[in-house]
Chains A and B, each alone.
Chain A
Amino acid sequence: MDVVVGAGIIGLSIAWRLAREGRPVTVVDPAPASGASHAAAGMLAPVSEVTYTEEPLLRLGLASLSRWPAFAAELAADAALPPHDPASTPSPLPSGATGAGDGGEATSGAGTTGGIDSAGGFFGGGISAAARAGLDLRADGMLDVAFGADDLAALGELAAFMEKLGLPVERLTGRECRRLEPMLAPSVRGGLLAATDAWVDPRRVTTALLAALERRGVPLVPARVSELLRDGDRVTGVRLAPPASPGEIPAERVVLAAGSWSGELANVPVRPVKGQIMRLRSAQPLLGRCVRGLVHGTPVYLVPRGDGELVVGGTQEELGFDTRVTAGGLYELLRDARELVPGVTELEVADVVAGLRPGTPDNLPIIGPSGTPGLTLATGHFRGGVLLTPVTAAIVQGEDADLATLCSPARFRDIS
């Protein structure tokens, strides 16, 4: 049997994919879906998030993005999410978005499930009605905007870099930005549209994963793993912290997907990077797509949900396991969000939370057999856990050998 340690979006997805294959699996987590997955905004934005030196992460992100529609459709079916709201049609794909980078990612898995629409872009296959309605999966793109001349110049540099990589981005004037998003501040000078980027509601995804696991009869043990059981150089199971009973679960394989806490259980170079994020609520969505911007050099993003929620994120702080929400953190989020979209000040504050992103030295996740028999790693997803969920599950299942090499634990010394 496999034991998956950690019931965040990564651990739950791995368990779900294993269960679909008919493998016996158990998930252990004292508080399922309450960590980074609960805080995350859910941007599936490998194109607009690309930065210098991070081309490998871009490759991984594009591959995972292309897997999202099928992943979501299968999840929606497995969790029996209703394809309600028949009026809501799948999002139209932007014209000309034909996956110029990486020679056009394979639209893997598209068409394996019913209800999938026409193909195109990285986000091959379109979005099933159930995935859109149930998971709020949308592929309407990311608009990156700039205000002052400095931020506009920085965006221009970024655009040149993206174009060099063959990514499908479109430079827009301030007027064009505001035609797309009328709530943007009048001072917007210009922008960059990554039409193939997408987003999803991670809270709905973890809820659906929990439902799918329950329907498949996968046990979820609500306990904290205090240590990995080891026999010589092998990992043979997990020990649970009291008062859990029984106190141990033996396993042929332990999959460590404990996010920032992975470093507490095994020797892996993962550190917590705190992010504060807030959720605002309005009756009508303020935005039609994700908007992010540099405000005097500080990045901020706004992610609209179908139900009127608007997610504003996120700070980046190296404070260990601290998850306090601070005055300064919220102030900076609101200050910058208001510069982008002045109307946010009218919205209700629905939720403020701090999560811990599991960071690694090179910002790439650590996925695959650890080198210690019996221990597989699926951790260190940093800012991209939601985006990288489908490709992570695939790599753990032995698919995508090329990408697996990129994420291999073997690139670090002394992992055990």
Chain B
Amino acid sequence: MDDLIIAGEKFSSRLIMGTGGAPSLEVLDAALAASGTELTTVAMRRLDPGARGSVLDVLRERGIRVLPNTAGCFTAGDAVLTARLAREALGTDWVKLEVIADERTLLPDPIETFDAAERLVADGFVVLPYIGDDPALARRLEQAGCAAVMPLGSPIGSGLGIRNPHSIELIVEAAGVPVILDAGIGTASDAALAMELGCDAVLLATAVTRAQRPDLMATAMKGAVLAGRQAWQAGRIPRRRYAEASSPLTP
């Protein structure tokens, strides 16, 4: 598979993992290993980066790059503060920007997200914002200097897959930065579809961590992302209304 490049950094895996929801660190570790991921998000609220034996140690042991996120923030102010604390604690200026509109849907707040993105870009951050499947907002965030855009397939943890593939295609078509499908992946075919639509990477957590066998689901996701990428590169055949014989019917 060709490399994924975000802000000049190369990744040979196009599967980005989240860490939430795993029953234990050992189960999480096995799942991360099976996924082959090289970049993994960690919620910085309620996590002390200095504490021993935490999820950060699991990532360090595996040599997986940490992508701090601002999960749990409801305002641009909260998100900017959380990002700065993460930069100080982890020594990375990358941040997955997540500003939530309400607890029930966990849908991203577009106005607060845009506000925070502008401020973080100005402050030298590499910003990867989590957004709805909105092509206009994606374009505006790219223009504001974000290093990638991360539209959702469906709400966080819902496992509903990609509800509006057309919007994702529109975002991909217009984007000059990587498009990372974030949130809503339920099973391997969802991840493959994201890549077939032209996304550059997929971010998922719950689909793996809450599966009955997380390591096996992680393996499935790794294969799905690879297959989807290859299918995108290979170029699918056009859809036809009627059959077209694959071998000649008449001599």
Contact = CB atoms under 8 A, between A and B. Distances in A.
Nearest to B211: A52
Interface residues of B, number: 23
B23 A318 contact: no
A53 B210 CA distance: 10
A151 to B, nearest CB: 12
B23 A271 contact: no
B48 interface: yes
A270 B53 contact: yes
A324 to B, nearest CB: 12
Contacts of B23: 51-54, 363
Contacts of B24: 53-54, 360-363
A216 interface: no
A350 to B, nearest CB: 25
Given A52-B211, A52-B212, A161-B212, A320 B50 contact: yes
Nearest to A363: B24
A272 interface: yes
Interface in B202-219: 210-214
Contacts of A321: 51
B223 interface: no
Nearest to B24: A363
A269 B58 CA distance: 12
A319 B29 CA distance: 20
B47 A318 contact: yes
**Interface range, A side:** 20 to 34
Contacts, number: 62
A360 B26 CA distance: 9
Contact of A53 (B27, B48, B50, B51): B27
A54 B48 CA distance: 26
A361 B48 CA distance: 17
Contacts of B145: none
Interface string B161-204: 00000000000000000000000000000000000000000000
B163 to A, nearest CB: 16
Nearest to A315: B46
A161 B211 CA distance: 12
Contacts of B210: 52
Contacts of A322: 48
A358 to B, nearest CB: 10
B52 A271 contact: yes
B52 A263 contact: yes
Contacts of B50: 320
Nearest to A382: B24
Find the residue from A52, A54, A272, A296 having the highest chain B CB count within 10 A: A52
Interface in A207-246: none
Contacts of A54: 23-24
Contacts of B26: 361-363
A170 interface: no
Given A319-B46, A361-B25, A263 B53 contact: yes
Given A296-B103, A318-B46, A362-B24, A53 B54 contact: no
Interface of A: 51-54, 161, 263, 269-272, 296-297, 315, 317-322, 359-363
15 contacts: A52-B210, A53-B23, A53-B24, A53-B27, A53-B214, A263-B52, A271-B52, A271-B54, A317-B46, A318-B48, A321-B51, A360-B24, A361-B24, A361-B53, A362-B25
Interface of B: 23-27, 29, 46-48, 50-55, 103-104, 157, 210-214
Q: Which 4 A-B pairs have the closest CB atoms?
A: A271-B53, A320-B51, A362-B26, A317-B46
